Every structure is written in structure tokens, then in C-alpha cells.
Amino acid sequence: MNLIARYLLLLSLSLCATTLLAQEEEAQAAAEPASPWTHQLVADVTANQVALKDWAAGGDDAFAWGFSFNGTSQRDTEANVWATSYKFAFGQNKLGDQDIRKTVDRVEVESALTMKLDFVVDPYVKTTLKTQAFRGHIYDGETKTAVSGLFDPAYFTQSAGAAAKLSEQVSTRLGAALRQIMTRDFNGYSDDDATTKIEKLRWDGGLESVTDVNWPLADNILLTSKLEIFVPLNEVGDRSIGNDATLTVKLSDHINLNVNLQLLDDPTASDELQLKQTTAFGVSYNLF
């Protein structure tokens, strides 16, 4: 057998072995059950900048930036669904000669275990954490006053009850809840007009309702909303109502326009209705 014939024989044997190995790996993969876990993590980065020099119309130099991570991890089996979501966001801006100021600071984690009983409603247990990572201030002219910090305040809630999927776009939960508000230096309340006291740890038992909306308005437009209501049984007047709605317009594979509106009516934090609206146009990347 000459050299060329030997080479062709070895090549044929190699190809056969590779084909058999690939077929065996495909068979093993098909035989293995699919993982019940699914993960998703989306990162967004936004920035804008303005620089002026001898600009007759006036104005100030400006720079703003921000980033966010929104993720979910879900384990879906025949018996139950364990879903965890997490949101981290931070942003700052600088206008003219002002100091750098924080505009966004958000740390939220929610984990829920829902049993599948094939009833109208399914029982669930859930825990949530809401806080911020860095110190926040309010500004009055040149004066700034610290009002928040890392885990100061932090809101922890544990709840158990019944969950129902009202439609493909809407799901809701209602249950008994226990809420803790943890503070060190902030989140004070007044016993009377003369004194202000910092309550280091506050416990509230009550009822919690959470309604989630995930509504595709078009192939590239998604509206999400979360309405949360907590009513403490010891002080019904201190009920907390919050709504977080986001309209996401996907302009390309990695360019999104996000419009977010947060409303919060919570007497434990402020006597006024709190509102935050943000519009972010930037780069979005799906890491998983």
C-alpha cells in the first residue's frame, strides 16, 4: 500500500470515528433531561454630555451616566416554580459647577416559590429586599442633607398566600405579610412637633397584594408594570402603595429606549406622594 493509499485510509477511519462520536454525544444529550433552570441577565449603559464655551445662548456644561442590571433565575418543575428577580441600578450627573449628584440608586431582590396545584389559585411564599447602595442627599441651595445610605433604610418583606394568573399578560398575588424596616441614621418619624426619633427596626404585620403586568404592545415594544400594596394591620393608615412601570422600545439588537415611571405613597418614608420618571436611551446587552 503506497503512502497516498495509507493517508486516505487513515482519513476515512478518522472521519468515521468522528461521526460515530458525534452521534453518541447527540444521543446522550437527547437522553438527558432538560435543565429546569432558566436564567436571564440584561445590562444597560447610558450616558450624555454637553460642553459649552462662549455659547451666546447660555447654558451649563453637563454630564450624566448610568447603568443597570436586570436579571431573573427560574426553576420550573411539575410541582412548583421558584423564581428570583434582581434589579441593580446606579446613575449620577454633574451640572455646571455643582458637585456630582446621585440620580439613581436601586437594589431590589425578590424570590418566590409557587406550588402548582392546578387550582384557580396556587399557594406561594415570597421574600423581598429593597434598599440602596450609596448615600443619598437632598439639596437646598448650597446645603445638602444626607437622607439615606447602604441598608439605611432597608425594607424586608416576607409573605405567603395565593397566586393567580389572570391572563397571559397579568398575574397577581394576595397574602399575609410581615415587613421589617431597618435603619441606622435615617427614616425618622415624629412623635410630636418637638421631637424626632429614629426607629432602628420596625415590624409590621399585614396584607400584601402584588400585581404584575407583562404586555407586549408590538414586536419591539414591551410594557411592564408592578403594583404593590401593603396594609399594616396595626396602623392601617400607614398603608404603602407603589407602582413601577417601564416602557421598553427595542430600536435594534442592542439599542433600547426605556421610559420608567415610579410612584410611591408610603407614610413611613414621606408624607408626600413620591414620583420618579426616567428616560434612558442607550446600549442594552443580553448577557444570558
Q: What is the pLDDT of residues 39-56, one digit of tens each?
A: 998 888 888 899 988 888
- Taking a C-beta distance cutoff of 8 angstroms, is the pair 71, 39 a contact? yes
Residue 224 pLDDT > 90, yes or no? Answer: yes
Q: How far is CA 139 from CA 27, 174, 215, in A?
A: 65, 39, 38
CA 199 from chain center: how many Å? 27
Separation of alpha carbons 237 and 23, rounded Å: 67
- Taking a C-beta distance cutoff of 8 angstroms, is the pair 264, 244 a contact? no
What's the distance, Cα to Cα, between the start and end of the chain in Å?
Answer: 53
Q: Tell me what pLDDT residue 19 has.
A: 61
Q: Tell me what pLDDT residue 149 has.
A: 93
Which DSSP symbol is given to 149?
Answer: B
Domain extent listing, the chain: 1-32, 34-286
Residue 158 pLDDT > 90, yes or no? Answer: yes
Q: Tell me what pLDDT residue 97 has.
A: 87
Cell of 192: 410630636
Mean pLDDT, rounded, for 196-219: 90
CA 6 from chain center: how many Å? 63
- How does 97-126 read in b/e, with b if 16+ C-beta sit within 10 Å? eeeeebbbbbbbebebbbeeeeeeebbbeb
Q: Please name the fold of domain 34-286.
A: Outer membrane phospholipase (ompla); Chain C (2.40.230)
pLDDT single digits (tens) 75-110: 999 999 999 999 999 999 999 988 899 999 999 999
Please tell me which residue, 214 or 285, carries the higher pLDDT value: 214
Q: Name which of 81-95, 151-165, 269-283 the model is least confident about.
A: 269-283
Q: Name which of 25-34, 154-163, 217-226, 233-242 the model is least confident about.
A: 25-34
Residue 250 pLDDT > 70, yes or no? Answer: yes
Q: Tell me what pLDDT residue 170 has.
A: 96
Cell of 217: 404592545
Closest CA to 268 of 177, 176, 190: 190
Q: How far is CA 137 from CA 65, 145, 150, 169, 181, in A?
A: 18, 5, 13, 38, 20
Separation of alpha carbons 166 and 246, rounded Å: 20
Residue 286 pLDDT > 60, yes or no? Answer: yes
Separation of alpha carbons 179 and 195, rounded Å: 25
Closest CA to 35 of 90, 92, 77, 94: 77
Mean pLDDT, rounded, for 210-219: 95
Q: Could you tell me the pTM of the whole model?
A: 0.82
Q: How far is CA 152 from CA 77, 146, 178, 196, 231, in A?
A: 37, 11, 19, 17, 22
Please tell me which residue, 11 or 162, carries the higher pLDDT value: 162
Residue 63 pLDDT > 80, yes or no? Answer: yes
At 236, is the pLDDT very low, low, confident or very high (cuts 50, 70, 90)? confident
Q: Tell me what pLDDT residue 141 has.
A: 81
> Please, what sign has the CA dihedral across residues 97, 136, 247, 69?
positive
Residue 164 pLDDT > 90, yes or no? Answer: yes
